[in-house]
Amino acid sequence: MALVYAHKLPAEGDVALLQTLLPGCYAHWKGQVLNSDELHEVYEGLKLNNVNKYDYVLTGYTRDKSFLAMVVDIVRELKQQNAQLVYVCDPVMGDKWDGEGSMYVPEDLLPVYKEKVVPVADIITPNQFEAELLSGRKIHSQDEALAVMDVLHSMGPDTVVITSSDLPSPRGSDYLIVLGSQRTRHPDGSVVTERIRMDIRKVDAVFVGTGDLFAAMLLAWTHKHPNNLKVACEKTVSAMHHVLQRTIKCAQAQAGTDRSPARPSWS
């Protein structure tokens, strides 16, 4: 969980990083997962030191439903301090490794996301599988994806980005599709919805944490371009590409070009 005080540029912000998950390593891990009481204690410490006025909140992977409920309480309190605060939620629950996909968090987290977390979020970044879970609808076409994003809008968030999907790209099987939708509310009460689609070339490697990086980069570039989802996503994807390419080069330098990482058991 990250609490961000942003200045004029994304690179100039102050971040309070709450280390809510302490795993060992991949693919099998041991470690500690903070529960609601522990998160509340950490947050109370921030308040006692008058460090509780933020511009952004970013959350990602967790396995504890009481923790999620406490996140909602904290976000609501922070929004009372700053009505312009933006909550970016990466609803990490599962993925489509093969076939229909599967959850790698406890199933009782889903109703908490649907009923409590997503309604207070301003930006959400699910993958296709997570978008289907949250909306209760399947995605087999771009039109169905747009309908799912409309359902997610109706739950609360004005910005929805489906960070990856298995929809076919006209450029071929070497590409994956990113879809986004942003609602902008004007002073006269009208609402304008911007839709975007990006066809991204796949990288022949397995990475861990790309969803976390995407959400963090989208937060930064949305801060810079709050009313231009297309530009924010383009810059996010560009940064992702450069990070992944540098990661591959570093990995090859250490392990050799003939080795590739194994698929993790969770992400």
256: left (phi over 0), alpha (psi -120 to 50) or beta: left
Q: Which residues contact 146 (CB under 8 A, 6 or more apart)?
A: 179, 181, 195
User: Is there a cis peptide before residue 27, judged by omega within 30 degrees of 0?
Assistant: yes
Per annotation, catalytic residue among 158, 174, 212, 258 = 212
Q: Which two tokens stand for residue 163?
A: 């960070």
What three-state secondary structure class fits 194?
strand
Helix (H) or strand (E) holding 218: helix 210-224
Would you call 64 a catalytic residue per the annotation? no
CB 124 within 8 A of CB 118: yes
Burial annotation 39-77 (CB, 10 A radius, 16+ → b, else e): bbeebeebeeeeebebbbbbbbbbbbbbbbbbbbebbee
Q: Which residues contact 197 (CB under 8 A, 6 or more apart)?
A: 142, 177, 178, 179, 180
Closest CA to 264 of 218, 227, 214, 211: 211
Closest CA to 121 of 176, 79, 167: 79
The alpha carbon torsion through 195, 219, 213, 210 (nearest 10 deg) reads -20
Residues labelled catalytic:
212
